[in-house]
Amino acid sequence: MDWYAVAQEAEERGAWDVAIAAVQPHAECFSRDHVRHNAHLWYLDLLARAGRRAELESLAPHDSCARRRLTRLAKRQAS
For the chain, 79 residues long, the average pLDDT of each consecutive 10-residue run is 96 98 96 96 97 96 95 87
Cα 15 to Cα 7: distance, rounded to the nearest angstrom: 9
Q: Work out how many domains the chain is built from and give that number.
A: 1
SS3 55: helix
- pLDDT score for 77: 84
- pLDDT score for 2: 97
Burial class (CB in 10 A: 0-12, 13-18, 19+), 2: exposed
Instruction: Supply the pTM of this predicted model.
Output: 0.92
Q: Which of 77, 75, 59, 79 is nearest to 67 (CA)?
A: 59
Termini Cα distance of the chain: 39
Domain that holds residue 39: 3-78
